[in-house]
Amino acid sequence: MTDAPTAALPGLRTVSVTRADDRYVVTLDRPAARNAIDAAMIAELHTVCSMIESDPAPVLLTGAGEHFAGGADIGELRERGRDQALAGINRTLFDRFAALPLPTVAAVSGYALGGGAELSYACDIRIATETAVFGNPEPGLGILAAAGATYRLPDLVGRSVAKQVLLAGRTLDAAAALRCGLVMDVVPDGEHVAAAHRAIDRITASSALALRLTKSIVDGTGRAEDIAQAVLFETADKRDRMTAFLEKRNRR
């Protein structure tokens, strides 16, 4: 782990991000609102994703203060209508975060509820403090967990536990989350970020290309034709054939 960040993305109000030599640290930064995910945060996280996509590295995601993210901004959700739902505002961002090229680790303390839980589900690995609570109370508000929980949570904890959370309003405390495999480790309060850094230390000791391909294949996004094409792109035969084609065309 690098001792100090080498770069930061300025001008953000709801999120902070620093880039060290071998990782990003992204912090949801609305502690007074339990880091509730509002439209401004969604927009800023898209900006962060653009930065990471252009210069990939593992990501540590956490929340400022006591909580990871207490949910989406209910005031904003109340005013959204059909068109906003069809646009998949939160889902599109969380899917993009899940598709980042290299591993992502969520360091979770306190509440990870609603949209906050769904953002943590979009990460590859979760590490929790003893205070962590995961849950999706959306049906109690007349909506459903539509930003990834319905398809990510069953993969993470199994269909039965996912239905308990999504249909029966069950919350998973740190111990339950560990038992069902939702989190990799549970650590004392305040030690989750350090534990996540240790996990990323182990990640960065591996080949970045191997990690990238492994994540792609495990997530079902690694298409065989992409890998085959990558092999062919590096061959002398490809270069010779394309050079001959271009030379022939230029002689016309």
Active-site amino acid positions:
118, 138
Task: Please state, in angstroms and rounded to a whole number, the distance separating the CA atoms of residues 65 and 91.
Answer: 25
Strands 7-8 and 185-187: unpaired
Task: Please state, in angstroms and rounded to a whole number, the distance separating the CA atoms of residues 49 and 29.
Answer: 16
Which backbone phi and psi does 240 adopt, to 5 degrees? -65, -45
- Shortest CA distance to 8 belongs to which of 29, 24, 22? 24
Which backbone phi and psi does 197 adopt, to 5 degrees? -60, -40
Distances 56 to 21, 92, 166, 167 between C-alpha atoms, Å: 11, 19, 33, 37
